[in-house]
Amino acid sequence: MMVFKARDALRTPGFFFEGSLMKVVAIIPAGGLGKRMGSDLSKQYLLLDGVPILVHTLRKFEEASTIDDVILVVPKDHIEYSKKMIVEEYGLSKVRYVLAGGRERQDSVKNGLDAVGNDCDIVVIHDGVRPFISEDLINISVHKVLEDGAVVVGVPVSDTVKSVGSDGLIEKTIDRRTLWLTQTPQTFRREVVKTAYQKACEDNFYGTDDALLVERIGIKVRMITGSYDNIKITTPEDVAVGEEIIKRVPSPESKV
């Protein structure tokens, strides 16, 4: 029988699994340049309720009881800014490294993975511009991965989905009952995700998310239900939606 014991009473990170203390590292890729925002300021640094979007995200991992360390991956030119104006300014003590990202998101995550030591048991990968993830869902993902080895968060598709040809005409309507919108965090046993990324690198294969790389090495990935509020902020319209969400979703520092 699996037994989980979070160390909330001590307010220290990590948790025990069947008598062993598990080390969990989160990788937060935040390499966007804000092109779709029409802004000179990268999207992760835009303000949401007066606080950078990236800080909102990092605070959730700061508060999650299962997380030991955070590796933040940003554009090379943003490393010093992120250290001083994000990590130090907001007292984000779990951020152990601020690393340079790569050309694609996958390259940035790979750089983060290269900094994960063999003492790590579980890796959690989460987009820096998804600030509305909850600490509870982070913790649930970590606990669930011990059963399955690979877990992603998502929500069922609620709209009708059509397949459309190059001529703009509808070819068919797809049964949405088995379709999910995949989000982050995506959580894996360390050896699983490292093997998947190494294989993708060897094959020069780029996928649309971390789970796809794991699927390629024959590992089944568990989908768990997330939240429709867990949006990825990439456009000005997303910021407007985010301002509405933040009015009804309490931030970690508002909890006493």
Q: pLDDT tens digit string along 197-253? A: 999 999 999 999 999 999 999 999 999 999 999 999 988 899 999 999 988 876 655
**Long-range CB contact pairs, 112-116, < 8 A, 24+:** 112/27, 112/29, 112/71, 112/73, 113/27, 113/193, 113/194, 113/197, 115/71, 116/25, 116/27, 116/71, 116/190, 116/194
Q: How confident is the model at residue 3 (pLDDT cuts 50, 70, 90)?
A: very low
Q: Where are the domains of the chain?
A: 4-244
Rounded to a whole number of angstroms, the distance between the first and last alpha carbons of the chain is 34
Sheet strands side by side (includes 15-17): 4-6, 15-17, 20-22
Check residue 16 and give its pLDDT: 73
Check residue 168 and give its pLDDT: 97
* pLDDT more than 90, % of the chain: 79
Asked if the model's pLDDT at residue 8 lies above 70, the reply is no
Check residue 62 and give its pLDDT: 96
What sign results for the dihedral spanned by CA atoms 112, 114, 119, 124? positive
Check residue 13 and give its pLDDT: 54
Check residue 7 and give its pLDDT: 38
Q: What average pLDDT is seen over the chain?
A: 89
Q: Which two tokens stand for residue 114?
A: 């290269």
122 backbone dihedrals φ, ψ, rounded to 5°: -135, 140
Provide the whole-model pTM.
0.89
Give the Cβ contact number of residue 195 at 10 Å.
16
Instruction: Report residue 2 CA to chain centroid gap.
Output: 25
Q: Which CATH number fits domain 4-244: 2.40.40.20, 3.40.50.1000, 3.30.565.10, 3.90.550.10?
A: 3.90.550.10
Q: Which two tokens stand for residue 125?
A: 């990968």
Instruction: Calculate mean pLDDT across residues 91-96.
Output: 97
- Quick: pLDDT tens for 13-67: 566 776 678 899 999 999 865 554 445 668 899 999 999 999 999 999 999 999 9
What sign results for the dihedral spanned by CA atoms 11, 14, 15, 20? negative
- Quick: pLDDT tens for 137-182: 999 999 999 999 999 999 999 999 999 999 999 999 999 999 999 9
The DSSP output letter for 84 is I
247 backbone dihedrals φ, ψ, rounded to 5°: -70, -25
Give the Cβ contact number of residue 55 at 10 Å.
22
